[in-house]
Structure 1
């Protein structure tokens, strides 16, 4: 049985559609990320799942039980969901142990103590039980928040931009740790983010949202290699479009030569454009240049060269031990890659 099923969900605010005919299924022990730019409807979708708003149409089922439809609505406190917010929402006047125990009022004193001790061990904060939130680092506060959300064994965990306030140097280690904890507890989760890097590291599948709908759903690799639209391709990374002629199922011709695709090109069109990312391009000095370098900068392990490609600017990285001679012409080679071809 799926942990979450959403069918034909619609929500509008002041006559403006925010969610439109949204369908989504989350399997048991699966982490799905709602990923998209601000205003795409991802946070509204999360609030609808939590019961913080009532959609005008559609149905939401958690573990097979309907919690929201046009005629039926279950209050948030009766949905058995855990929530983790961007600011962690810890109670400043309660200790770490008291924060974790806050939602365990139905347990006996002994059961509550045992559950709190288990959660502290799970998030490696056994020595911090008596501290207050302001005495903890951001990462430690986040661990308290996840422990509190999981303490009463929710059917579903909802996370709203949980990593945005964490220092970049420790963020991805924390993402791995939190993911391991969720997987260990065998809880399904919905994760909202605008960062593809966080989503790739944390989620099993991504639901790319655009204008209140899911534009595409799949694993990070599936979406990166087979985006079904320009919007999805562009959201998953900076790039530039280059005119191309499809030569066969795995090759195209461009102004910069033939390009081999590492996957079959899923298009019947002969003429179109390929979406090139910086990692697909190699720059080199040549007798006759094909491009102009607008600017360049040294960033330690590499040089970044800003080039104009068919009217679009793109920044390409090259190893610092192999800098270009900008007094000479510059050309480029398009490396073999999983080609994104659009007609």
Structure 2
């Protein structure tokens, strides 16, 4: 049994496909992130799941219940879906307690009190029930929002860029806390973001979206180390393409020498390109070298060197205790890594 099943979903706007024959299956108690750049269809997909828009075709099941199909469209209020928004959408004229209790109108007064108390304790806001949203920090408001979304025990939780307005210094602690809360409540969740750092920290699996389709679905390590195509590789981090020819023993010949792959893979016979990230490049002083450093920055534990390779600007790090001598020639080598080869 999946918590969410989407098959052949199609949605067009002004004749342009925004969601294009999309399939997605989410397991029970799993957090899946729809990750991609603006306009890729991730927020539209979230709205279709919530029932805030009606796709032209395709099916959506939440648990065993069909909420969208050929002759079926269940309105949002009957889908038992919780939602967290970018701006939290808390009611400013209601207290924290009243905000969390808002969707519990069918419970008795005693049961409502008990459930809200449980949720405020879960998000560590037991002492804040009588306060109003404007009296809370951004992180506290976010905790109220998650408490409200989970209070009526939804079958599925939808989160639309919920961390984008949180100060960077506390963001990842909040991400960790809310992930733990969702896992503790055994709720499945769909999380929309354009930040891979947030997605890596919060999700079990990522669905990289591009032009209304899922370009690749998998765990963060799998997508980062073995992207299926250039779209996924480029979205998950800066890098350069180098002409490469497969060699023996999982190696590739490039203009910068032989590059060894740490992952076993069938070697194609033709020429192609490998995608190399800055972390796989090592700069060093040598007797001769043609690498030009455009800028050097000290950032505490390391130096960052801006260089131009293959017509692209890259920042390559070196430990603070082993900086480059910019008065001497500089060369580079590509370290062994999980090579991404594209024919």
Same fold (TM over 0.5): yes
Contact 2:250 2:267 in 1 (8 A): no
Q: Where does structure 2 lack aligned partners over 5 or more consecutive residues?
A: none
Aligned to 2:72, the other structure's residue is in SS state coil
Q: Aligned partners of 1:21, 1:342: CA distance in 2, in Å?
A: 25
Contact 2:296 2:306 in 1 (8 A): yes
Contact 1:284 1:331 in 2 (8 A): yes
Q: Aligned partners of 1:167, 1:261: CA distance in 2, in Å?
A: 39
Contact 1:8 1:23 in 2 (8 A): yes
Q: Where does structure 1 lack aligned partners over 5 or more consecutive residues?
A: none
Q: Aligned partners of 1:106, 1:289: CA distance in 2, in Å?
A: 74
Q: Aligned partners of 1:75, 1:6: CA distance in 2, in Å?
A: 17
Contact 2:250 2:265 in 1 (8 A): yes
Q: Aligned partners of 1:270, 1:311: CA distance in 2, in Å?
A: 24
Contact 2:32 2:207 in 1 (8 A): yes
Aligned to 1:23: 23
State how many pairs are aligned.
Answer: 343
Q: Aligned partners of 1:332, 1:53: CA distance in 2, in Å?
A: 52
Q: Which runs of 4+ in 1 moved over 4 A?
A: none
Contact 2:82 2:149 in 1 (8 A): yes
Structure 1 residue 171: deviation in Å? 0.5
Aligned to 1:278: 278
Aligned to 2:99: 99
Q: Aligned partners of 2:180, 2:8: CA distance in 1, in Å?
A: 32
Aligned to 1:300, the other structure's residue is in SS state coil
Aligned to 1:301: 301
Contact 2:100 2:148 in 1 (8 A): yes
- State the superposition RMSD in angstroms: 1.0
Query: Are 2:213 and 1:213 equivalent residues in the alignment?
Result: yes
Q: Aligned partners of 1:292, 1:226: CA distance in 2, in Å?
A: 30
TM-score norm. by structure 1 comes to 0.98
After TM superposition, the structure 1 = structure 2 runs for residues 183-332 of structure 1, keeping only pairs within 5 Å, are 183-248=183-248, 250-332=250-332
Structure 1 residue 305: deviation in Å? 0.9
Q: Aligned partners of 2:34, 2:266: CA distance in 1, in Å?
A: 25
Contact 1:67 1:73 in 2 (8 A): yes
After TM superposition, the structure 1 = structure 2 runs for residues 67-146 of structure 1, keeping only pairs within 5 Å, are 67-146=67-146
Contact 2:175 2:201 in 1 (8 A): yes
Aligned to 1:153: 153
Residues 267 and 36 of structure 1: is their aligned pair in 2 closer, same or farther, counting only changes over 3 Å? farther
Aligned to 2:246, the other structure's residue is in SS state strand
Q: Aligned partners of 1:131, 1:84: CA distance in 2, in Å?
A: 20
Q: Aligned partners of 1:82, 1:259: CA distance in 2, in Å?
A: 48
Contact 1:265 1:341 in 2 (8 A): no
TM-score norm. by structure 2 comes to 0.98
Identify which range, 333-342 or 249-258, moves more after superposition.
249-258
Aligned to 1:90, the other structure's residue is in SS state coil
Aligned to 1:11, the other structure's residue is in SS state strand
Aligned to 2:73, the other structure's residue is in SS state coil
